[in-house]
Chains A and B, each alone.
Chain A
Amino acid sequence: MATSAPVRQSSQGGIYGQIREIYQYRELLRNLVISDLKARYKNSVLGFFWSLLNPLGMMLVFTLIFGLLVPNVQIERYPLFLLCGLLPWNYFSASVQGSLYSVLGNAGLVKKVYFPRAILPIATVLSQLINFLLAFVILFAALLIFQSNFSPWLWLLPFVLLIQTIFTIGVALILSTLNVFYRDTSMIMDVLMLAWFFLTPVFYSTALLPDSITLLGVTLNPQRLLYILNPMASLVNMYRDLLYWGYRTDLDFFLRSAVTAVAVLLFGAWFFRRYSDRFGEEL
C-alpha cells in the first residue's frame, strides 16, 4: 500500500527559499568573509594600514589637483569632504571589482559541490563592508579632530550603510553572473567604473554643477539627472549630509534611495537565480 509523502517545503522555493538556504549556509558565508579578510591583511596589523594607504594617497592627490585646477571654488576642509565620499565609493568599487571574479574564481568548487551560489558574491561584498567599517573608524576620528558638523540625524548613518550594501549586493549578483557567460564583462566594467566615478560627486560637490545645460535642444538639469540616474550619487550625498555638512537628509530622498536599492537587489536576485543553474556547465 503506497502512502503519499507528507507535504514539505522544498528547499528550492522562490525568493524565500533562497534566503532560507543562504541562512542555512551562513557558516560558509562567514568562513569565506574571514578567509578573504585574512588573505588581504595577511594576518598582520600592518596589512590593515596598507589598506588605508590607498584612500589617503587619493586624498592627497585630489586635494592637490583640485586646489591647482579650480582654485576659485574652494571647498572648506576639502580632505574631509573628499574622504566622506571616497570611502563609500571605494567600498562600492572594490565590491564590484571583486564580485566579477567571485564565481569565476571559485570554479573548482562550483563544479564539484552544491551550495547556494549567491553566497560567493555576497561574501565578497560583506568582506568589503568590513573593510569599509574599519576605515570608517579612522574617518570618524579625523572628523572628531577637525570638528566636522555632524548632523542631528546621524543615527540614520547605519541605514545609509544598509541601503548601500543592499544596492551593492544587487549589482554584485548581476555582474558575477554576467562575467561567467561573457568574460569581457570585467573589461567593460573597468571603463564603466571610471565613468561612474566621475559621474559621482566624490571629489566635487553637486553644487558645482550648472543648473541647466541644453543638449540637442532639450534643457536638462544635470543635478537632478545625476540623482535620478545614479544611485551612488544619492548615497554619497547622504553620507556627506550626515557627516560633513550636518544637514538633515530629506526623508523622501532617503526613501527613494532605499526603494531603488531594494529594486536592484530583487532584480539581481532574480537574474542570479535565473542563470546560476547554468554555472555548472559554463565554468
Chain B
Amino acid sequence: MQVSRYDTIQPGEPALELHNVSRRFIKRRERSRSFQERFLRLLSRRNVEQEEFWPLDGVSLTLTRGECLGVIGPNGSGKSTLLKLVSGILPPTAGEMVVRGRVCSLLELGAGFHPDLTGRENVYLNGSIYGLSRAQMNERIDRIIDYAELGDFIDTPVRHYSSGMYVRLGFAVAIHTDPDLLLVDEVLAVGDTNFQHKCLTSIRQLQAAGVTMILVSHDLASIQSICSRAIWIRHGKVQSDGPPLDVTLDYLSQLSVDEDAARTQGGEITDMEKLERRRWGSGKIRITRVETLDADGNLVPSLNTGGPLTVRLHYQAPQRVEQPVFGIGLHNQSGVHVGGPNTRTGHFHISFVEGEGTLDYHMPSVPLIEGEYLLSVAVVNADDTETFDYHDRLYPVRVHAGRSSERYGLVQLAGEWRLASDAEPGLPIDPSLAAANGR
C-alpha cells in the first residue's frame, strides 16, 4: 500500500490515480471493544470468527484534471469507501494511490457544525476543518454568506436552522474552499429545487474552472446531467467505465436482471397480513395474478420513462358475471394517484366473464418520471355498487430514467422546443423594465 498526496496540481497531471487499490474490512462476529472482553477471550481460547469483505477490490482509475466522475452502484457496493480512501479518512489495504491538489469532501448535512454557534461562527469553524486559515476565511466570508442566502439568520445559532438552511450553509462553505478535487456524497438530493439548481450551476462553474469532482449518487438522472464520465462499482470492482449514459444504462439493465431474480425467488405475495389489509372484495371474480410486461411480452419489474408497458390481469370467475368493469391504478411514492384507467372509461365493454382468463392493458408510452410506483388492480360490477376484488397498491413498479433527463413534476410532457428566428432570441428580461411596465 502506498499513498502519495501532493498539495498542488500541475497542469497536465492527473488529479487522481488509483492502481489496483483494495480495501478490506473485517467483520468480527464478536468484537472485543474492551480489555475485559479481550482478556476473557484469551482465557476461553476460542477462535474469533473473522469474516473479511472487500468493498473495493483492485480498483484502477485515473482522473484527469477537470473531469467529473459519477459513481453509481447499489448500496454497499463500495462507492462511499472509494470517497473515504480518496479523502484520507480510511487508508487503502493494498494498491497505490496518488492524489494531487487540495481535497475537499462535502460534509454530510452540516456534520461539523456546532449547534450553539451562529451561522457565521460555524462558517469559520467549518473553514478551519477544511484547513483554511482565518485570513483566508475573512476574504471569503461575504461571498459565502451571500451564496447561502440566509439573510439575518447568519447570526442566529444554527440549532434554529431548518435542514435546508444547514445544507445551504455547508455547501456554500465547501465550494468556497478552492478545492482541486471535490468529493460529493449524495448531498445534492437535499434542499429545495431552487437551491439544487444553484448547486448545479456552481458545480458546472467549478468544472469549468478545472476542479475535478467525484459524485456519488443514486440519482442516475443527475449523474447523467452533471458528470462527464461515470463508473459503476459492483462487488468492489469497476464493472463499467465510460460516458454516463452508457454506464447508467448498463447498470439499469443489470438492475432489472437482479430484480427479476429476486421476484422469482420471492414468489408472488408472501406477506399475508399485508395482503389482507390491502385486498378486499366479494370474490365473485378474483384477480389471481398481475404481471407487468414489456413490448415483447417479457415479464419486467421496471420500465424506462417513455417506454411501453402492458399490465396483464389473470382473473378467475367461478360463475358467470355480467358486465364487469376492470381497472388499474398507479400511485407514486408520495401517495399521489397518478392515473386510473378502467374498462368503462376506456369504452371497452365486457359483456360477461366466466372461468379463467386474462385481460391486458397496453400503454405504448408511459410518461412517468423516474421513481417507485405502486400498482393497484380492481374489478367491480357495472354500476360500481359491488367490489368483486380489489388489490390496493400491492404491486411495485419501478420507473427508471432511461434516456430521459426529466426530473421535475410527475410526468414527462412530451413535446419539442422551437425557437422563432424573427423574434429576439435570448433577450433577457430586464427586471427594472418589467417593474416599470407593471406600474
Binding site for B on A (CB under 8 A): 5-6, 8, 10-12, 24-28, 30-31, 35, 38-39, 108-115, 182-185, 188, 277, 280-281
**Please, which residues of chain A bring their CB within 8 A of the CB of B6?**
5, 8, 10-11
A182 B38 Cβ-Cβ under 8 A: yes
In the complex, per-residue mask of B110-132: 1 if CB is within 8 Å of any chain A CB, else 0: 01101011000000110111111
Stretch of B84-92, B147-155, B295-303 at the chain-chain interface: B84-92
B10 A30 Cβ-Cβ under 8 A: no
- Assuming the contacts A183-B33, A185-B35, A280-B84, asked whether A113 and B89 have C-beta atoms less than 8 A apart, the reply is yes
- B34 in contact (CB, < 8 A): yes
B129 A109 Cβ-Cβ under 8 A: yes
A31 B128 Cβ-Cβ under 8 A: yes
Nearest B residue to A29, CB-CB: B128
B87 A114 Cβ-Cβ under 8 A: yes
**Please, which residues of chain B bring their CB within 8 A of the CB of A182?**
32-35, 38
**Please, which residues of chain A bring their CB within 8 A of the CB of B117?**
35
B5 A183 Cβ-Cβ under 8 A: no
Between-chain CB contacts (< 8 Å), 19 pairs = A5-B10, A10-B4, A10-B5, A12-B3, A27-B124, A27-B132, A27-B137, A30-B134, A31-B125, A35-B114, A109-B111, A110-B89, A112-B89, A115-B129, A183-B33, A184-B35, A185-B35, A188-B35, A281-B90
A-B contact sample (10 more), CB < 8 A, given A27-B131, A35-B125, A39-B116 = A8-B8, A11-B5, A27-B127, A110-B89, A113-B89, A113-B105, A113-B111, A113-B129, A184-B35, A277-B90
Considering the complex of A and B, which 5 residue pairs feature the smallest CB-CB distances, nearest first? Answer: A114-B88, A27-B128, A28-B128, A184-B34, A280-B89
Shortest CB-to-CB span from B240 to chain A, Å, is 27
**Please, which residues of chain A bring their CB within 8 A of the CB of B133?**
26-27
Give the CA-CA distance A229 to B162 in the complex, in Å: 55
Task: Number of B interface residues at 8 Å Cβ cutoff, please give it.
Answer: 42
Give the CA-CA distance A275 to B122 in the complex, in Å: 30
Q: Which of A28, A112, A184, A277 is within 8 Å of B91, CB to CB?
A: A277
A28 B131 Cβ-Cβ under 8 A: yes
B112 A109 Cβ-Cβ under 8 A: yes
Give the CA-CA distance A18 to B261 in the complex, in Å: 51
Give the CA-CA distance A108 to B129 in the complex, in Å: 13
Give the CA-CA distance A188 to B13 in the complex, in Å: 51
- B333 in contact (CB, < 8 A): no
Give the CA-CA distance A8 to B9 in the complex, in Å: 11
A112 B111 Cβ-Cβ under 8 A: yes
Nearest B residue to A184, CB-CB: B34
**Please, which residues of chain B bring their CB within 8 A of the CB of A39?**
116
Give the CA-CA distance A72 to B129 in the complex, in Å: 57
Give the CA-CA distance A115 to B132 in the complex, in Å: 11
- B107 in contact (CB, < 8 A): yes
**Please, which residues of chain A bring their CB within 8 A of the CB of B134?**
27, 30
- B7 in contact (CB, < 8 A): yes
**Please, which residues of chain A bring their CB within 8 A of the CB of B127?**
27
- B352 in contact (CB, < 8 A): no
Give the CA-CA distance A115 to B87 in the complex, in Å: 9
A108 B131 Cβ-Cβ under 8 A: no
